[in-house]
Amino acid sequence: MLNNSSIIWLESATNKDVHLVGGKNASLGELMSELTQAGIRVPAGFAITANAYRDFVETNQLTAQIQSQISAWQQEKQSLEVTGKAIRRLFRRASFPDGLSHDICQAYQELNQRYGPSEMDVAVRSSATAEDLPDASFAGQQETFLNISGETELLEACRKCFASLFTNRAISYRKEKDFDQMAVALSIGVQKMVRSDLACAGVMFSIDTETGFPDAVLLTGAWGLGETVVQGSVTPDQFTIFKPLLQNDRLRPIIEKKKGTKAKKMIYATDGNKTTVATVDTSGKEKAAFVLNDDEILQLARWAVLIEAHYGCPMDMEWAKDGNTGEIFIVQARPETVQSQQSGSSIKTYKLKESGKVLSAGLSIGSAIAAGKVCRVLSSKDIDQVEVGSILVTEMTDPDWVPVMKKVAGIVTDYGGRTCHAAIVSRELGIPAVIGTGDASRILTSGQEVTLSCAEGDQGYIYEGLLDFESTDVDLSNIPQTRTQIMLNIASPAAAFDWWQLPASGIGLARMEFIINNLIKIHPMALIHYEDLKDREAWQTIRDMTQGYDDKCDYFVERLSQGIGKIAASQYPHPVIVRLSDFKTNEYADLIGGKDFEPEESNPMLGFRGAARYYSDRYRAGFLLECQALKKVREEMGFDNVIIMVPFCRSLKEADKVLKILADQGLERGKDGLQIYVMCEIPSNVFLADKFAERFDGFSIGSNDLTQLILGVDRDSAALADLFDEQDEAVKIAIRQVIEKAHAVGRKVGICGQGPSDYPEFAQFLVEAGIDSISLNPDSVVQVKRRVAEQEAQASD
């Protein structure tokens, strides 16, 4: 096997050889030598070394000519475009030294012999010696050539790779990162092609790319060759997997599955006698299907964990599935360069102070808000039109766009996913972006004033006009410990990962109805009785939304379990209290298909809600779907930190009925450590607290409803707003009473209403009363925790 100063087989390379084979090839070699025994597959290949590049430059006497061009650019005697073009022309006109071309062709023949056929298809990838460092991604700075076959094509691809060390974007990037233009060399990786043109490919991160949440694997994929995902020319499927539970082979902790449009795919094509690549439309069947099944998703996620553990840092990986063999391969692995570099000592939060008309929406990249005038540019040839501080709107970006991406306040694209070029560069530059809108470049016009918001979870929005917003720096250093548990109120799965750095002890309130409203959108009874729906418009909408589900109810169970799972993952192993659905009838009716199943009530706030629904013949079948989702979350996904909470439970008889149904569905209190809480929001819960404590493991005070029912004030009435007071003496007496009764029999009491977030003195009262936990809106956690620590210190003096 040929190994010399010009050629090194990948399995012989390690991370110590970056100076010789570049970051990309060194990483692949490390994977092959260290992790193939763990089952990770990497396509075989060889590296053409940096020594070979230097030999090529020296033999063709290119050094002085390159330096002359760079000097002219640095002295502003010529443009970057002229400089890059002139240098690349030097390479294309140069010849390979005889010894080098012989070594490359010999290595190619040896690779052919490993797999049998001659003229093997290979991927030819650039690997710069300054590439993939922890603080510099060099994403897409050099070229990759796919489906190269034969010695002539291989040598020509290598020549183009050498030239790509001086693409305009690479020259500009090295200047920005203060790298010596002449000190960087280029290695080339030549690998057997994985026939993903017949299957699928994509990108994987061992960290959440938006929030830096370290316990998630983010996986994206599309049909065909993986370049469409990297470039952002398609909106791929997206999967999120919770890493800590992957070590248990019995569990399947997939907490998010989002189907991308996957409108196009890149495949092999024939051009005369030459095989090239072409982009074609995907079929309807391909658009409707996920590119990976659950077993494949989990396999890749486990590989991500192994690779991250070996390298000791979060990783950015590319994968490909061979359509002939069904095997999955890792084709690249490099350090993640954005979230892993954050200090974690503070977080910056953004909040819109007014609402506006939504013009377009897509995936949010980052968590910031930006406002400005739209600059709509559809071709890289016109990027000189991009104005400083504008909101760049385009179909997709590639590395040629990087110089102007640094100038803008925000970026909006029609296509792409969280791992595409536009997303990666936006994160690195700290610029908010909304990716994969599908229509922004057709809807938005240059000069139009808009506000781009990435501060509302994983969905990003473009609003009409310049909306007012604020940003806040939250200092996470030196936060005191408290006896009182400080927990979070989380409204939706989309926001769960945003707050993982906060000093919280779990989630005191996760509202199931928010998940149903945001992720599912369909009334559960409309899914159960789908074929009999009278509302034909709802019938058609449900048909389209549940495409791919043979049983419509599976749509509800899967999406609800994933939503709960994502929230539970954000605070695992701390407790996460999930409140069973508590829509009012008018709110249920607003769900798709809901009007066929909900009565009209004059006072829904005091009507058919909470526990009363769960055992009623009118909703019990829908409640059983909620039970199935919770059972899946705890037993199949593995989130045994989930606690179930029953809302608006009016009587002991009602409590017994609900607990029996839960037990019948495999959610028996005490089994496998399952705890079941009850909301304390009705006077009967206070008066009979000792009896409710016999049936439940704890209480969570819903101060809004409790205040409403003690004072007889409609919480939604503007006319009575001055009478609605959670700090009224009657409310405080009730709170003290339930805490005393619960503690007398060893039950915990928390509070999850709005009061502690809004009123510091109310939080102080709760500490004095002996509350066990206070669940807060995330933006008030640090402030209230410091205040609680002060109060606890005073009480102990």
Would you please indicate which residues are annotated as catalytic (active-site) residues? 421, 752
CA gap 12, 3 in Å, rounded? 9
Query: Which has the closest alpha carbon to 6: 235, 222, 188?
Result: 188
Contacts of 609 (CB under 8 A, 6+ apart): 582, 583, 584, 585, 647, 648
- Scanning 144-236, the segments in alpha helix (DSSP H) are 151-163, 168-176, 227-231
Q: Alpha-carbon distance 766 to 755, whole Å?
A: 10
Question: How, if at all, do strands 459-464 and 358-365 pair?
Answer: antiparallel
774 strand-pairing partners: 486, 751
Handedness of CA 228, 229, 235, 236 (dihedral sign): positive
The C-alpha atoms of residue 308 and residue 241 are separated, in whole angstroms, by: 14
Residue 218 CB contacts under 8 Å (≥ 6 apart), including other chains: 204, 205, 207, 208, 209, 238, 239, 240, 418, 419
Nearest alpha-carbon partner for 195 in 301, 122, 281: 122
The contacts found for 152-160 with CB under 8 angstroms, 24 or more apart, are: 153/274, 154/104, 154/105, 154/108, 154/122, 154/124, 154/190, 155/96, 155/101, 155/104, 155/105, 157/124, 158/48, 158/96, 158/104, 158/124, 158/188, 159/91, 159/92, 159/94, 159/96, 160/91, 160/92
Whose tokens are 């084709």? That residue is 331
Contact 423, 365 (CB under 8 A): yes
- H-run or E-run covering 90: helix 80-93
User: Which H/E stretch holds residue 108?
Assistant: helix 98-115
**How far is the C-alpha of 708 from the C-alpha of 551, rounded, in Å?**
41
Answer yes or no: are the C-beta atoms of 66 and 87 closer than 8 Å. Answer: yes
The Cα–Cα gap between 606 and 712 comes to: 12
By residue count, the chain amounts to 797
295 sits in the region (left: phi over 0; alpha: psi -120 to 50; else beta) called: alpha
Q: Name the β-bridge partners of 680.
A: 701
Buried/exposed 24-47: b ≥16 CB within 10 Å, e otherwise: bbbbbbbbbbbbeeeebbbbebbb
Please check whether residue 164 is in contact with residue 205, taking contact to mean a CB–CB distance below 8 angstroms: no
Task: Give the integer Cα–Cα distance in Å for 732 and 584.
Answer: 27
CA 225 – CA 194 distance, rounded (Å): 9
